Amino acid sequence: MPPAYLTHARIVLPDGVLADSALLIENGNITAIEPDAAAVPRAAQEIDLRGQTLLPGLIDLHSDAIEKEAEPRSRVMFPLDFAVAQIDRRNAAAGITTPYHAVSFAGNSFGVRNFDTAGELVRAVAAFRGHSLVDNRVHCRYEVTDASALPVLEQLVEAGLVDLVSVMDHSPGQGQFKTLEAYLAYMMGNHAMSREEARAAADKKLVEQHGALGRVERLLALAARMGVPAASHDDDSVERIATMHALGVRMSEFPINLETAHAAKEKGLPTILGAPNVLRGQSQSGSMRAIDAIRAGVADCLCSDYQPSTLIAAAFAAEHLGDLSLPQATALVSANPAAACGLADRGRIAAGLRADLVAVAMVAGQPLVTHTWSSGRLVFAAGYPAGALASDSAGVVQMPVAGEPGRAAA
């Protein structure tokens, strides 16, 4: 792989932004920022970024978009190896160089979330790693009311195929589904169930809550032994945060309200909010707005949740809507997720780190990825017409964001 010399870039560093700067990539790593001309190898390929913004490659701790690649419609399944190859390409195009594919183990009747199918999907991700464009990782989500999935998940953790685990309880009456009606509507809409089937699933969940705590303790103890970080999902109270922290959880995904997010921060648990929530200006389940958590200083990471393309847009939106500096907004999708999962070799633009990088241009008022490098390899490039690329160094995107009338997003 020949060296690459990126020039005329607006480089976002952890503590500032360099205008009209340059960066050298060699052997998969960032060798130097603003190198002396004499230090640039003659064989280096120069790529003129024409004022575009250069960010660290995005790190996405939770994206279940892979499930839609495998099952685009309820009970309509594609081959899993095909699904993995396609989501790899989508992430490269979205500037996500370290995606954690969120695969749910949630019983034996929900299509791709069937624990046997979910296990096969995890293995398909592992099988494709040697061919992938980006560093594909696995985030296994365990539905605590399902006893049957636990042995399957334990085997995957013990085999070293899992990079992050989370525990979730989608029983009606708490967490994401605050009412029984909300749960029934979701199951009928997302899983093509009749109302009677959805009600039976709800009743089964409520019965199987018995023993859930013991199963969670068992899984989290195994994760700790294997060095796999753990998160809790849809935390809805200070008490729940305390319980999860005591069990060994080290991240809080989608806390339901500001009080819970503050409690997570007080316990030292990084919080993870959804990028689609930022762009839409609201939660799809009626929970806390992510932008409110950002403004309150209790949002550490953004994840794409279910749509990879939202992550870069939400990072730029957070800069202006959240009154953040560009380095602070960038950290939500790079440095902070890296720190949360112990990835010391990426997440920032600095000499010696992996050359995971993404170039972003303003096209028709949208922040769009033009180039993605994964460990120094150019894995995505988009040839927008030269006249379409804005040279606005302030990076303001005139894109309306739901819930924020009259404010520009970035």
Q: Which long-range contacts (CB under 8 A, 24 or more apart) does 217-224 make?
A: 217/247, 218/150, 218/154, 219/142, 219/150, 219/153, 219/154, 219/157, 219/165, 219/167, 220/165, 220/167, 220/247, 220/248, 220/249, 221/248, 222/154, 222/157, 222/158, 223/157, 223/162, 223/165, 223/248, 224/248
Asked if 260 contacts 242 with a C-beta cutoff of 8 angstroms, the reply is no
Query: Rounded CA gap, 94 and 209, in Å?
Result: 38
Q: What angle do CA 324, 328, 329 make, to 5 degrees?
A: 75
Query: Positive or negative CA dihedral for 320, 323, 324, 330?
Result: negative
Cross-strand pairs, 231: 166, 251
Give the 3-state secondary structure of residue 323.
coil
Q: What is the pLDDT of residue 397?
A: 40
Query: What six digits make up the tokens of 139?
Result: 């985030």
Query: Rounded CA gap, 378 and 245, in Å?
Result: 40
**DSSP class of residue 76?**
B
CATH architecture of 4-56+346-390: Roll (2.30)
Cross-strand pairs, 33: 23
- For 146-209, strand residue ranges (E) read 164-168
Give the 3-state secondary structure of residue 117.
helix
* H or E segment to which residue 238 belongs: helix 238-247
Would you put residue 166 in left (φ > 0), alpha (ψ -120 to 50) or beta? beta
pLDDT tens string for the chain (410 positions)?
Answer: 899 999 999 999 999 999 999 999 999 999 999 999 899 999 999 999 999 999 999 999 999 999 999 999 988 999 999 999 999 999 999 999 999 999 999 875 568 988 899 999 999 999 999 999 999 999 999 998 888 899 999 999 999 999 999 999 856 555 556 566 666 666 676 666 777 776 676 666 665 666 788 999 999 999 999 999 999 999 999 999 999 999 999 999 999 999 999 999 999 999 999 999 999 998 877 789 999 999 999 999 999 999 999 999 999 999 999 999 999 999 999 999 999 999 999 999 999 999 999 999 999 999 999 999 999 999 999 988 877 776 444 443 434 455 554 343 32
Give the 3-state secondary structure of residue 292.
helix
Domain with CATH 2.30.40.10 in the chain: 4-56+346-390
Q: What is the pLDDT of residue 30?
A: 98
Residues 109, 110, 113, 114: what is their CA dihedral angle, to the nearest 10 degrees?
20
Task: Supply the pTM of this predicted model.
Answer: 0.88
Tell me the CB-side half-sphere exposure of residue 296, using CA atoms within 13 A: 18
Q: Identify the residue whose tokens are 């009154």.
A: 323
Structural fold of domain 58-340: TIM Barrel (3.20.20)
Q: Identify the residue whose tokens are 């976002």.
A: 12
Cross-strand pairs, 90: none
